[in-house]
Structure 1
Amino acid sequence: MTDRLEIKAALAVTDQGEITGTAWPFGSPDRVGDVIEKGAFTGPATLPMLFSHDPAQVIGVWDEISETDTGLTVKGRLLVEDVERAREVRAMVRAGAVSGLSIGFVTKQARRHAKGRTISALDLHEISLVAVPAHPGARITSVKSVTSNGVPDMDNEDHQTPASAPDIDTKAFNAVLARLDKLEARTGRPAAPAVAQDTDQPERKAFITFLQSGQIDQKALTVANDAPAYVLAPEETAGEFIRNLVEFSPIRSIADVRTTGSHTILLPKRTGITNALWVGETAPRTASEPTFDQMEIAVKELATHVDISLRMLEDSANVEAEVRLALAEDFGQKEALAFVNGSTALEPTGFMTAPGIAETNNGHAANLSADALIALLYQMPATYRNRGTWVMNGTTLAAVRRLKDGHGNYLWQPSYQAGQPETILGRPVVEALDMPNIASGATPIIFGDFRAGYRIYDRVALDVLPDLLTQRTSGLARFHARRRVGAGVVRPDVFRKLKMAA
């Protein structure tokens, strides 16, 4: 089993930043069918607290991590006194905008089953605060605060209504609660721990019927405008599909990902700045103007089909999940390759093939140099260096892990040291399978601020079209799927490659 960091997802916070919650409930699967058994968790006594699994957003530390009969319970603290982002996240938690917990781990032992995995051993790397956790039951459980007189107040506890409080219209209040519950379900927020209840939603029922019979419920489903006869997957289905892509396409976790309603995105680009000069009190001033250009990112289409036996279609209680899982790996692998090395007119432009990215020579054609990595890091402007991420494949990462500086210290630091994520020279590292290997003339490592420099635009998350006729003589049903996404480098100056050359 490969060592790949996985992301899985209850939560509470004080003015001092104390947080408690359940990071993983036992006894029920997450949104992709995975179950983690009690006793599976191993890891350090303390872990970094991240926001949305972003290694650049360390907002606190988890001090207490333990397994109980109900799940993995945690207690930690936001660094509200020292980190501005931690104060912002505390406000989002108390407002209810962020209410979930999600875990990042490497699977060590697991068993596959029809709807996911049963994981019996894993290494826990980090725990994040998120808006939508992977497990519906992984949520903040209490939110403490401190009043102006210093008396603790439990924000999530029930309070008795003061005698002077105005009368409440109970019927209207209940109606508002019902509407909020529906909105919460539609946006994918985990309102209830029972995953099986998802199939009660009209959209999900209609989508399953569409996959099994081809019949379209116009009231519950949406037909794609740019592809007649294709049906857009329900909101939660599309969301789960995107989360699967992150596992195979790690670039999504560090790039700037946006949505678009167009087939082409035009981005204004400044190519020059004004030229101010020092002048005397009455000396004439020289006029200057900045110059501008524009760049274009075109939305591309990724398509495939998968065949499923008619018996599986008839017997499966969750055929929509079967289709999604069958398509996710293929789509994810192709997308990951394009984001790194895409160069043809039919695919997004990869950051390794984009023009204008500077290079730093390694000093040797075959052996990685620690001095070259240090030089590359500090050749970047400080603003982007401090937000940068290393990207390389596993073979290169293994070589980097053996490098030491002049004092005998390893350049690579594991995620469980000093409450930080896995780093090289203090900056996080992402493993991308499709990066080049170490070889003469190759560029196996790139460093840069991907949030500022690489843009991904999602046009269509997932369209599915069932074909129940053409393959029927073979006992199969064919499902056609398509996805539209565009990507490209918008700031070459925030990246730098390491080239294996003297």
Structure 2
Amino acid sequence: MSQIEFKAAITVDDSGTVEGIAWPFGTPDRVGDVIEKGAFAKSLPPIPMLAFHDQRDAVGVWDEITEGEDGLHVKGRLLVEGVTRARELQALIRAKAVGGLSIGFTTKKAAPRAGGGRNIAALDLLEISLVAVPAHPGARITSSKELAMTDDTKTLDIEALEAKMTAIEQKADNSALLARLDQLEAKANRPQGTTDTKAEATAERKAFATYLRDGDRMPDEDRKALNLSSDTQGGFLAPPEMSTEIIRDLIEFSPIRQYASVRGTQADSVIYPTRGDITNANWVGEMQPHDESTLTFGQREVEVHELATFVDISNRLLQDAPQAETEVRAALAEDFGKKEAEAFLWGTGVNQPEGIMVNPAIPEVANGHASNLSADAMIKLMYSLPAAYRNRGAWAMNGTTLGVLRTLKDGQGQYIWQPSIQVGQPETILGRPVIEMVDLEDVASNQHPIVYGDFQAYRIVDRLSMSVLVDPYSRARERITRLHATRRVGGAVLQPARFRKLKMATS
């Protein structure tokens, strides 16, 4: 965050009008800073008038801000009719107790000066304060219409001034200020239906509010405003409102990442050494020679692949609906999550991860029927795995297949699917948990609707989490902002022997 800096000649009259030079050009202030002409080019009135840079002590407003050859000229109003503190500042200025101006700003562009300080070429002007000692010696109150603010000013009669101030305070009518405060308080207590202040100020909205309050007794002027927006039956049309709620469809994807083995990497691929078999030891007799054993080693490479897209959003939409960018990012995350989950099951390995269901080395167990699931086939599939893998295994299938399985019974008439009776524990089939994966196939001829295995044998390699690059420049002339999204991830089956697939028969 940029730090707010305070820098700063003024006049005051009976009505509270204040004029002065808030910053002289060409000369440094007490710390060596020089603000160049043109630095205030984007500073537009109104600007708050504070006392001594205290944000809780607002005493007026600056209505005119112009850059002259000699410096930044400002003109504003002390609110002497309604703010007691403003009348005090008016008296202090005339008494020369307060005679300077100081600006509060944040620096946008600056360069160091030889000998110290900076040349400030651009800034954001936040406020201009009335102060006793300005940061710039030349930032002074220039004159007063009643009393000239120069060195030859006659000596002030302080006692007479104080008496005059007391009389002013006694005569002051604060009713207008109190009424304004009541209006602000009432507005703050209204229900907040929208943050669109521009829409709130339209004639149709004001007239609609009058109709809700007075009904048919509403004034003719407001009735005309509503008729401008009436429907064909002559009824009143409610003004439009942009809701902050966005209706979105549910995005489902397989939770394989939760059960697989996930690793990070800083490279384009990861190589895992593999061992093909065990040694060939034999029983031998005394003095009998034994045979040599050979081991074969290999490697399994998991490559990192890239998933990418971009979305164009109009700048007007980003301005009118600030939540639009958040929703785009959420949609990208959902799309990337769905696409990578699908690739972890069905990816070909070419420019995408290798999927479990397409790995040719995973053994298949025949179901024996093209459309009816067999409980015996599932038992056979599960026990075809070695015990070490079987006891860490889990069933994976989609919701449709799970619904069919809930009706299956074993040879003793017992349901093979068992609901969970303990909170936090999954449902089981033959004592092992069930994972619902929406991307698996339905029960049909020549399909693989069920896979069982230890999913830690599937390795996911993350190179780069989803990155979103905001590009407001490429289509700036069309007032379009482009969001580029990229994700780099790889996946492969490291040990096919830890999986089994159920194959439906061909009809």
Q: TM-score, normalised by structure 1?
A: 0.48
Q: TM-score, normalised by structure 2?
A: 0.48
Instruction: Compare relative contact order (CA 8 Å, sep 6+) and give the higher one, 1 or 2.
Output: 1
